[in-house]
Every structure is written in C-alpha cells, then in structure tokens.
Chains A and B, each alone.
Chain A
Amino acid sequence: MAEVSLKVNGKVENHEVGENTLLVDFIRETVGLTGTHVGCDTSQCGACVVHVDGVSVKACTMLAMQAEGSEVTTIEGIGSSEKLHPMQEAFHENHGLQCGFCTPGMVMSAIELVSKNKSPSEAEIRDGLEGNICRCTGYHNIVKSVQAGAEKMGG
C-alpha cells in the first residue's frame, strides 16, 4: 500500500492505494465516481477515458500512483445536470447515446478531440474516436454530436 494524493474534479483526494491499483478502480471504488466505466481488459474500448492534466487517458492503462499530483477530470467534472458541457448538450440534441455505457468515455474523448482540432471533418472525427467502442449507435449520431459539439465549443 502507498499514499497517493491527487485532485479529482478539483477536489483533493488523499488515499492509501495498492501498488497495482488502476486509476479507473481508484476513481470508481475509492473516490466513488462511477461514471467512468470499465468495458474491457485490454485497453481497447475507451469506456474508461478521463482527462489527466488535460490529456485524455484510458484510466485502465494507468496506475493510481502514476497520477500522483495530477489533476484528473472525469465525466462528473465537466458539467452538471443544470448546466451541461456543450459537448454533453450536443450528444443530447443529436441522440448520440443509447444505453449510455460508452458515453462518458466517448464524451471525454470528443472534448479532447475538439480541443486539438476546432472544426473536425467527419473523417477526422471517425479517426479520432477510433479508440472508443460503441455497440449501440453505429456512430452515425455520435459523429453528428461531435460536429455539433465542436461548433458549440466555438470551433
């Protein structure tokens, strides 16, 4: 066990963690934020994407201890039900989600994608979301959502 101290959604979290504890388990089990999901065991699905110091990371590929001193942002930290993030709003308006399981990771990846490329083309969006699997939507409306989200974010 070791001490880890980091910020999650702006709040300081000091906890004892196992040396092998993955960041995703730390977020879900220790901090208790269950919006970040686990969809695979090979770092392929993107359900667990969070931002670590502003960069999107698959939280199942990183140990909690590696995030020592970092600022982690999860889906719970980007908007609220009263005031959705523009990307969350765009997913709602364009029916970019069905079962919702891939959605947190998808939205976090989309935000980073748009932060790097203010008005991405369809092909760039499809390429950029290649690390996030959605089984429900066929991606059609996710692509539309990200385009609309990019516009709302001021692209």
Chain B
Amino acid sequence: MSEGIGASVKRKEDKKFLTGKGKYTDDINRPGQVYAHFVRSDVAHANIKSINTKAASQAAGVVAVYIGEDVAADGIGGPICGWVVPNRDGSATHEPPHPLLAQGKVRFVGDAIAVVIAESVEQAKSASELVEVDYEELPAVANLETASSGAEIHEGMKENRYFDWELGDEAATDKALQSAAKVVKLSVRNNRLIPNAMEPRSALAEYDDLGGSYTLHTTSQNPHLARLILAAFMFQIPESKLRVIAPDVGGGFGSKIYVYIEEAVCIWSSKKINRPVKWTADRTQSFLTDAHGRDHINNVQLALDESNKIIGLRVDTVCNLGSYLSAFAVAVPTYLHGTLLSGLYDIPTIYTNVKGMATTTAPVDAYRGAGRPEATYLLERTMDAAAREVGMDQAEFRRLNFIPKDAFPYQTAVALQYDTGDYEPNLDKAMEMIDYKSFEARRSEASKRGKYRGIGVSSYIEACGLAPSAVAGALGGRVGGWESASVRVDPTGTVTVFSGAHSHGQGHATTFSQIVSERLGIPNANVEFVHGDSDKTPFGMGTYGSRSLAVGGVALSKALDKVVEKSKKIAAHLMEASAEDVEFKDGKFTVAGTDKETAFGDVALAAYVPHNYPLETLEPGLEETAFYDPMNFTYPAGTHIAEVEVDPATGVVEIVDWAACDDFGNLINPMIVEGQVHGGIAQGIGQALLENAHYDENGQLLTASYMDYCMPRADDLPSFKVECTNTPCTHNDLGVKGCGEAGAIASPPALINAIINALSPLGVSDMSMPATPETVWRAIQNAQARAAE
C-alpha cells in the first residue's frame, strides 16, 4: 500500500518543527530552576595549585559554587569507558579516571574545574569570572606525531598511550609485501573534526526529595544507555530512581552518544541544592568540549601481483584520542576501523596495528561514520595511487579487485564476514550517472577555459547495525547491541510504537509507522510513535552506527510478528476456524477456502472487550514487545564519484557533479534515505574541503567558533545525484542495512581523488585534507617547482 514500506511518505514530525513547536531540552523550564555555568581551564595542561571560590560564592544571585573535592566527597564517579581492547603484549587498555570536575590537574583547554550555580545565566557567568585558579603549567602535548615523547598526561600511563592493538596476520602480510610485484605506499592524515550538531548540548536535572528520584532532560542519542551509565556506574543509585528524557534533539552525529560531565554535575547539584539545575552550552563550549572526531595518521602498504591483483595490505595507524578516554573512543579506531580494511576488495592477507594516543586536547570519539570513514579514506586513496602507478583506469582497477558476486558470504582477513553484496552493477550505475565515459571530453573543454577538471572514485563498505552482542562482547564491548520495540494496539485498532531507538533528525516516527502500516494494514495516521523517555519505552540502546532501522526496525518487525500471531488466534476464535487456516493481509483476516473475514479493528476490540474470547488459552489485550539482537553486522556499500574543476591561479575547487550509488538493501522511505545521503555527503565534503580542528603547540584550540571553523554552507555545495542498487541483507527480516553514515564515509576520498586527478597533469600526486584553496595552490606550486628542477 502507498503508505507502507518503500513509499516516500512525507514526514509526520515536520509540522511541529516547521511551526516552532519542537521541544528541545533548552526549551524546557522548571519552576525555581537555577543555571549552571562551568569554570573551564584556559590552559592545556597544568597542576592546580589552588582554587579560590570565595568571591564567586558571594556574588549576586549565586546559589552554590562547587569544585572537584565536593564531588569526590560525595563519591560520584566520572564517565566510564564502554569498550576496551587488549594490547599487543596481552596487557589491557589503560583507562585513566575522568573526574567530573578537575582533581588537582587539568588536561585540555575546556576541562571543567568548578561549577557556579546562580539564579540567572548572566549571574552564573559573571560570578564564574571571580573564581581564581592558580596553575602550575605543564608542557602541552598537542601534536599527535610527538605525543609519545611528550609530558606525562595521566599518572603511570607510559608514552601517553592508551592502547597498542593489532589485528590480522603480520607474518603473512609482510611476506606478501616482500614477494609483491609492486608495493604502493602512502601516508595519509585524517583531519580532526568537530561534530557541530546545530543544537548545542544541554541538560536540565531535577530532584524529587519525596521519592528520592531524579529526572534528567538531556540532548542524548541514547537515553537508556545514559541512565544506565549515570545511575549504575557514576552515582551508584538504583537505576529506577533516574528518569532520562531525550526530547527533541537537534542532531547528534555521534557527539550526543556519551554521558558528559555536565549532565552528571547538573544531576548531582540538583539534589544538593534541591532545585532544578539547567545548563546549556554556548557554541564555544561545544567546540571545546563535545567529543571531536577522526584525527588519524595512517601508513599504508599495498602489495600487488603481476596482474595488478591485491595480495596483501598493511596499515599502521596512530590516532589521537585526546585527554580522557570517551565512552567508545577505543572502539572507533579498532573494531570500527581495522575490521573494515578489506573494503570491497578480495585481499588475502591484512595486518594492522593501531596505537591510541593521549594528548592534551578534547576527547575524541565517534563522529558520523566513526572509524569507517578513516578506513575508507586510506584505502580509497591507496587504490587510486595504485591505479595511477600501474597505469590502470581508477574504476577498472577497483573492478578487477572487487570481491566477486559469487563469493558471498565472504570472510575477510580482518574478522568480518560480509553476508551479501554485488559491487559491479553498483559501480556501473555510478559511472553511468556521471557519464564517466565522456569525462575526457569534459576535461579538455575545461582546460580551454583554463580550468583543471578531475574525476574521483570512491567505493566503500561499512559495517552497520551495531552490533551483534556476542561479537561486541568478545571484542571488548561492555554493552549489548540489541534493540527493543513495543507495539500497543488500542481497543479501536490504533497503534502506538514505543522504540528504544532515538530519532534526532532521522524521521523514525514516519518510517517506523510505515512498517506498522505495511504489516497491519492500517493507515499511517493511526500510528503514534514514542521514543526518548526511559519511563515510557522499553530499555533500548539508542541510535548510532546506522542501527535504528537495521536493529530497532527489525525489533519492531518482530513485535509486529507477535501481534499478528496473537491476532490470528483471536480472529480464528471469532470466525470459528483454526488459527492455522487464518490468513492476514491488508488489515483483514480471512479463512482459506471460505468467505469469512474479520477486520483488524474487530480483533483489537475483542482483545480488550473479551466477551467472546478464548480466555482459557489466551490472555486478553494486544500489546507485544520484542528485543532483537542481530546475527551479524549489515554491510551497506556503494560507489561515489565526484567531478571537480580547479582554478590553478587560486586553488579554488569547484564541485561540478556528484554521483552517489549506494546499496542499502531494502528501503523503507526513499525520500528519507536520500536526505540521509545528502547530509552525509555534505559532512564528507566539509571534511575534505573546509573543516579542520586546529590546536596550536600550546594546546589552544584555534578553531573554536564559526569564524574559524569552516562549516559547509549552502553556497559551498552542489546538488547531488543519488540512486540505489539493492542486494537485501540476508540475516534480518526487513532486508535492510542502514544508510545514515554512508555519505560521510564515501565522500572524502572521492573528492580528494578527483582533485588529484585534476591536477595530475601538473605533477600533483598527493593532497591533504582539508583541501583549502591555500593547500591546493601550494600543492600546485610545489609540483611545478619539482618539475622545473
């Protein structure tokens, strides 16, 4: 039906946002609420000799001022690490404590030292300026390349290294490299990014002294997970005494997965002063303290045989995880990165070593794509370099090395087993979309105008639908990877879905309703969607890693199975037939071979008004819950092709065309899928051309505002051609794979490869991100200088 699976249904949630009726955390107020403002370190690394809060405490409107000792005295712990890995020598990841407010030491600019709570935001801010902190400065450790020889950041942690992890067969890989006909070597840097969801983080905590319980409104992608971590690990209170609500959330992109210290301080102080405490970040604080993304240096060696087939791959990575280990910081460069190094290619042996380093910068964690963009970037840059070195067309070199269609399920050399895929038709379609074969004509036409035109290919794979719990657990994950959904059918046949996933732009109210509509044959308008409140929904793991549909949607499908199964029994009773003979289609129950039928609404009514009902064998009511733990990851894959023109005089890159062909399996709502792809590509283009988080050698963040951190704006971007191919996922009921991160994963190498392709006639063979006009212009100048030598 037109409102079911596969239809581009317009979004249910739009109206409230379009009319200004959205309710984000900062839009919510409580009677008697006070405002928290944090005193933050303005130096990167220092011992704190003393803190004087006297003047601040006496300032107008101030209710309380607290420092690290106050929190410690109440025994409140800091945020915990949700994933650890073993080191190469068998020892464990170093997990230094992360206090809520600094305990004797600060480790990055923005580290919280004290909190000032006052009757108004202005009063809290101005009193904060009266807090005097006496520092004994220590050398900053801001440079990833030299971090291991920098000053000790955490007591007893050697060489500022959190972990030193490996995956794959080192001996076999090194042998392949030695015996190769050709070894392609490349060193790339994956630039550091700041997520910049447009809604800054915010928290509003209140304490109910009668019930001894707390309510926290917060900007979270996963309110249940936040509740678990806050209650069980940080506050050690019964989980049932904390309600976490993530209302409307204005974008996340990973940055709102984690529990941050500010939320915990609001909860803690709301009890201390017995008033609701609210905190909202200004953008500067977001830049300084939201978990950043990426920041890898990768050294790659790719071994080819005489026929240009890949025979081995070695990748040595150092990555910057910042001052404290954020919740999933360890997983991102290891299991979300090392395991993806096979890409879409048949590579017999792979080895990777990853060193996770501490620096005196903000913590680094998952940002849209999380590890998979880094893997794709290094691999697709190397594939391009290899194609150039062996003199093959970039698309054909990839085609030659693709995992063939008949090789699935395909076991990679780095732990994953891809269930399904068909990469060639996908590549062909992307090439057709951009008219690849006529590119050379366009290149010569551009050169007549003095422009260098280039085309760049990026074929990617990602592991989504995080995560099979047993696999995650075996690899160091400390949480499960399932998702939950409840379906409540009302007596009149309307339905409410309660989902453990969280929507902060993804449109779950619409897509999840489509699944219900399809399965129960009821109009979309009869489905309500509830999420984001730990008191209302079943325990859920939330939204990240393109998992909402692939795990949460499948949980919903399973709950609907249960509803249908029970409904059939009720219908069988009503129609005096046996349940096995009852069929359900388009909202109607029928009995095979008869003209008996009963509507879904009649069954619902019978369930709640069970006058004529098999009460001896069946409970009344119609409400079902399912928890679904995936069997495997899902593997969306595809090819993006970018076409650019570079002005050699200015270094300005213009994106003239973009073709994205993705295989996300079955689609629930193509309109929403396209929107996700657009947004992802924009973030990838931002990474490749514009964005960079830059710390100076003193550990000061020089890009802490929109004046200095270049966000993609409407006039920086083109329109995109987006299409899909489909090999349905083989191990979930909906055949879906997930689409949220693909754009951000695929696009940076497509763009950088296109720029290199454009400038290769000038001798340019490398380009760093972001490829700003200055970077591009310098690369051209350097190449020309080399050519003149």
Contacts and interface: CB of A to CB of B under 8 A. Distances in A.
Chain A interface SS verdict (over half): loop
B220 to A, nearest CB: 14
B714 interface: yes
B232 to A, nearest CB: 29
A104 B24 CA distance: 13
Contact of B20 (A44, A75, A126, A132): A75
A62 interface: no
A55 to B, nearest CB: 19
Contacts of B22: 35, 100-101
B251 interface: yes
B291 to A, nearest CB: 15
Nearest to B681: A138
B679 A137 contact: yes
Interface stretch (B6-14, B385-393, B432-440): B6-14
B19 interface: yes
Contacts of A88: 18-19
Contacts of B678: 137-141
Given A135-B253, A140-B719, A98 B713 contact: no
A47 interface: yes
Given A98-B675, A132-B714, A44 B19 contact: no
Contacts of A140: 678, 717, 719-720
Contacts of B26: 34, 38
Interface in B664-713: 671-672, 674-675, 678-683, 705-707, 711-713
Contacts of B715: 123, 126-127, 129-130
Contact of A81 (B15, B23, B743): B15
A101 B14 contact: no
A95 B673 CA distance: 11
A14 B743 CA distance: 49
Nearest to B195: A135
Contact of B27 (A34, A102, A130): A34
Contacts of A53: none
A95 B505 CA distance: 11
Interface in A107-135: 107, 122-123, 125-127, 129-130, 132-135
B284 interface: yes
A104 to B, nearest CB: 5
Contacts of A34: 20, 23-24, 26-27
B445 interface: no
A42 B705 contact: yes
Contacts of B10: 92-93, 95
B18 A45 contact: no
Interface in B248-267: 248-251, 253
B250 A40 contact: no
Interface in B638-676: 671-672, 674-675
A1 interface: no
Given A45-B198, A100-B13, A126 B283 contact: no
A142 B714 contact: yes
Contacts of A79: 18-19
B314 interface: no
Contact of A95 (B16, B282, B671): B671
A98 B506 contact: yes
A92 B12 CA distance: 9
Contacts, number: 183
Nearest to A80: B19
B660 to A, nearest CB: 11
A49 to B, nearest CB: 12
Contacts of B21: 35, 76, 81
A33 interface: yes
B706 A42 contact: yes
B122 interface: yes
B300 to A, nearest CB: 29
Contacts of A132: 713-714
The majority secondary structure among interface residues of chain B is loop
Interface string A62-102: 00000000000011100111001000100111010111111
Given A44-B706, A84-B19, A132-B714, A101 B199 contact: yes
B706 A136 contact: no
A38 to B, nearest CB: 8
A101 B22 CA distance: 8
Contacts of A45: 198, 283, 706
A36 interface: yes
A103 interface: yes
B705 A35 contact: no
A138 B672 CA distance: 13
Nearest to A92: B14
Contacts of B276: none
Nearest to B672: A95
Contacts of A47: 198
A79, A91, A126, A129: most-surrounded residue (chain B CB, <10 A): A126
A122 to B, nearest CB: 7
Nearest to B18: A88
A102 B743 CA distance: 20
Nearest to A93: B10
B504 interface: yes
A70 B40 CA distance: 39
A44 B713 CA distance: 11
A143 interface: yes
Contact of B198 (A39, A42, A76, A142): A39
A70 to B, nearest CB: 19
Contacts of A101: 22, 24, 197-199, 250-251
B706 A74 contact: no
A93 B23 CA distance: 22
User: In this complex, which of A41, A75, A91, A102 has the most chain B Cβ atoms within 10 angstroms of its Cβ?
Assistant: A41
Contacts of A138: 678-683, 712, 717, 720, 743
A138 B26 CA distance: 25
A79 B20 CA distance: 10
B507 interface: yes
A58 interface: no
A155 interface: no
Given A40-B283, A122-B719, A35 B19 contact: yes
A104 B17 CA distance: 7
A139 B717 contact: yes
A37 interface: yes
Contacts of A54: none
Nearest to A47: B198
B200 interface: yes
Given A100-B13, A126-B715, A91 B18 contact: yes
Contact of B197 (A42, A44, A81, A99): A99
The 5 A-B pairs with the shortest beta carbon distances in the complex, nearest first, are A35-B20, A100-B17, A101-B250, A138-B682, A99-B505
Given A38-B200, A101-B251, 20 more contacts: A37-B199, A39-B200, A40-B706, A41-B282, A42-B283, A42-B706, A45-B283, A81-B15, A92-B15, A98-B679, A99-B504, A100-B17, A100-B250, A101-B197, A127-B714, A130-B713, A135-B253, A138-B717, A139-B712, A143-B719
17 contacts: A20-B122, A40-B705, A41-B284, A42-B707, A75-B20, A84-B15, A88-B18, A98-B507, A99-B197, A99-B251, A101-B22, A129-B715, A133-B713, A135-B198, A136-B198, A137-B675, A140-B719
